[in-house]
Amino acid sequence: MFLRNHLIHGRNRLLLTYISVLYLANFSLNLLIYRNFSIVSLSVGVIFAAILFILVRNKKRPVLTMYFMICFLFCFTFFLTLTHLSLVSYMLFWLAVILSALYLERGIIVLSGFLKCLATLYFFNKYQLQIFPGADPQSLAFLLLFDAFLIIFLLIVTAVFKKLLDKAEEGQQQLNSILNNTDVVTWSLNLQTGRMLFSPNIEKLSGRSPEYFIKNKEGWRSIIHPSDLSYASKEMHKQLLGDMKPVEYRIVTMNGEDRWVQSRGSLVKDESNKLIRIDGVLIDITPQKKLEDKMIQMALHDPLTGLPNRVHFNNRVTEALERVKRKKQQMSIFFIDLDGFKKINDTYGHDVGDVVLKDVAERLRAIFRENDILCRIGGDEFMVLLEITSIQHAEKAAKRILEELASPFQFQERSIYVSPSIGISIYPMDGLDIESLIKKADDAMYAVKKKGKNNYQFYSIHTA
């Protein structure tokens, strides 16, 4: 049905163009050659042209518009022939019949054939001498017979094309059915107009109908996430140069949700090998991206506290080392071990121990800056990276840790106490690489343990 209506609408536009050109040619001919000007004729023509234009532009009832167009075409041809009584004017009826066959509709061909036969009977009987000079009554039979053969021929041709169209529509319906049950959207970018067309599935993906992108030339750009627009545009340009690798970016739906898509395209060229468009598919990969993010989160974070783990911490320290080396600044590493945590696990159980660890993580988070890195490296051990810091700032942070963890942890009306032993190493005084800095912070922490715990200490050669 969609293909049929689309075809009929296209033919309506073609017929509107033909009628407009024919009307203007007739008007110019009357004005310039015959010096015949009628304000009534002009007004009627403009009114009918406006009606036809509105009907065609509306697109809502293409079939009704088709019948109206054909009836108007024959009426206009009738009055045109009546105005200019000649065989040339009469032959426009045959052209009208052929044009009606472009619709590939049997009903419209039969209607145009019937109207053509009426016109033949009328003009042969009324204006035989002016249009068919020298013709005898037998010529009328030949004219009607020719009309009949023309109609039969057009009906046969229409039947053949109709079968092809039905097969194409059936294939399109099957393809749409398959695509509508997947998260795949097909698209086509016309390089001449810059307009991108999408399959109906785009509405399910973005919340916008295919018509939105037909009306808005830059509509496809408007749905791309602002942070990804530059990248997506560059990759689209690379595709024009033949680099057809898949492109992944985010789009923003009508309700403001971000969705990840993967775009794949292929170049389409015409007979002269000129690039005319890019056809492709858009695949919703949001579930895969969420799974990837979850796996990365699990790989780089502690599942209990949600803090970065040792792998993530080492990566961030390596990056921070490069920055402070360039800026010739200091940074510090804290190694924190909770005193007596094993006793909490033994007394209250591991579930209570887990609750305490999560509470410790929350209290430590509140102490440090956004660009500082706090991690849990396992058990009851935590590490902190303070980037671009001084000894005074590091000491102040250590005191804050002692203060925050001094308050008891409440669990089922029980007060549970835990204290930290904190070892601190400073770059570049205590080491120039991550291994050295962590080891010396660890050594300083064990020195605190030996001295009675619940304190902090900077690394010195005496703690080794």
Query: How confident is the model over 226-283, as pLDDT tens digits?
Result: 999 999 888 888 877 777 888 999 999 998 899 999 988 888 888 888 888 888 888 8
pLDDT at 172 over 70: no
Q: In angstroms, rounded to a whole number, what is the distance separating the alpha carbons of residues 62 and 5?
A: 6
> What integer best gives the mean pLDDT of the chain?
85
pLDDT band at 153 (very low <50, low <70, confident <90, very high): very high
CA 228 from chain centre, in angstroms, equals: 12
Average pLDDT over every residue of 431-445:
93
| Alpha-carbon distance values, 428 to 180, 334, 392, 440, 464 (Å) | 61, 14, 15, 12, 17
The total of other beta-carbon atoms located within 10 Å of residue 317's CB is 21
What does the pLDDT look like over 103-130, one tens digit per residue? 888 888 899 999 999 998 998 888 888 8
Q: How far apart are CA 300 and CA 22, in angstroms?
A: 75
User: What is the predicted pLDDT for the residue at 179?
Assistant: 60
The pLDDT of residue 271 is 81
Burial class of residue 440 (count of CB atoms within 10 Å of its CB; 0-12, 13-18, 19+): buried
Residue 370: the pLDDT is 82
Q: Express as a percent the part of the chain with pLDDT over 90.
A: 31
Q: Which pLDDT score, from 0 to 100, does residue 446 have?
A: 93
Examine the pLDDT at 37 and tell me if it is beyond 60: no
What does the pLDDT read at residue 80? 81
Confidence of residue 136 (pLDDT cuts 50, 70, 90): confident
The predicted pLDDT at position 397 comes to 93
pLDDT exceeds 90 at position 296: no
Q: How far apart are CA 121 and CA 143, in angstroms?
A: 9
The domain defined by 301-463 carries CATH number 3.30.70.270: yes
Quick one: average pLDDT of 188-205? Answer: 84
pLDDT band at 360 (very low <50, low <70, confident <90, very high): very high
Dump pLDDT digits (tens) for 48-92. Answer: 777 777 777 776 777 788 888 888 888 888 888 887 888 888 888
Checking if the pLDDT of 183 tops 70, the result is: no
pTM metric for this prediction: 0.53
pLDDT tens column, 374-394? 999 988 999 999 988 889 999
Q: Of 353, 344, 341, whose CA–CA distance to 420 is shortest?
A: 341
pLDDT at 423 over 80: yes
CB within 8 A of 356, min separation 6: which ones? 341, 344, 409, 411, 416, 418
Span 425-431, average pLDDT:
93
Give the mean model confidence (pLDDT) for residues 434-458.
93
Share of the chain above pLDDT 70, in %: 90
User: How confident is the model at residue 224, as a pLDDT?
Assistant: 92
Q: Answer yes or no: same fold for 184-286 and 301-463.
A: no
pLDDT above 70 for 43: no
* Residue pointed to by tokens 């203060």: 403
DSSP one-letter string for 195-214:
-EEE-TTHHHHHS--HHHHH
Q: Output the pLDDT for position 218.
A: 83
Fold assignment, 184-286: Beta-Lactamase (3.30.450)
Domain ranges of the chain: 2-176, 184-286, 301-463
